[in-house]
Amino acid sequence: MPHGLPGAEKWERTQKELSGKTNNRLATSQRDNRKENTTVCTTRIQNGQKNESLTRVRVVETRRQRLVIVGAVPWGEELAALLQRSDWDIFHLTDGGNLACAILSRRPQVVVLPLQTWEESGFLIAAKVRYARPKTRVLLIGTQADPRAARWAQFVGATYLSTEQGLSALVHEIQRNH
């Protein structure tokens, strides 16, 4: 390995330590312990021959999906229990000041909102969340099928669901594309 590269001394030291081993096995050691990128030195010793490789890999940590439920949404407790079993992080927010900021601070993938909160309409909150984080899915929950509310929801980038559609439709919409 050229001497000017970062971690060259450690790599050479590891190679000297591994050179004494002649059995058929795989030896791996980490070189550069950064948060996202890791350089791995792999030495394979097979039939008395050493095959060495230095590879830079990206470590991807799986992140749990996050759901924010705002206010008193029908089936809120049942929904939270179902999705926690599917390895989701669930956050419950009560109606209060500046809900959009509170939602965004949790960095959710999906938000479930009633049509009207204490201070703002669900449409306004949905528009704020979608403007700040366009990939966040927002589901607005109403009490009955309402084509006008569905159009407004679509206009702000949200999806409208009525309580008449049931819990299974809500769970299906949350898990869609995830």
Average confidence score pLDDT of the chain: 77
| End-to-end CA separation in angstroms for the chain | 43
Q: Domain-by-domain residue ranges, the chain?
A: 8-58, 65-175
d(CA 138, CA 151): 14
Could you read off the pLDDT of 88-106 as tens digits, one per residue?
A: 999 999 867 788 899 999 9
pLDDT score recorded for residue 57: 57
Where residue 137 falls (left for φ over 0; alpha for ψ -120 to 50; beta otherwise) is beta
CATH fit for domain 65-175, picks 3.30.420.40, 3.40.50.2300, 2.60.40.10, 3.40.640.10:
3.40.50.2300
pTM of the model: 0.63
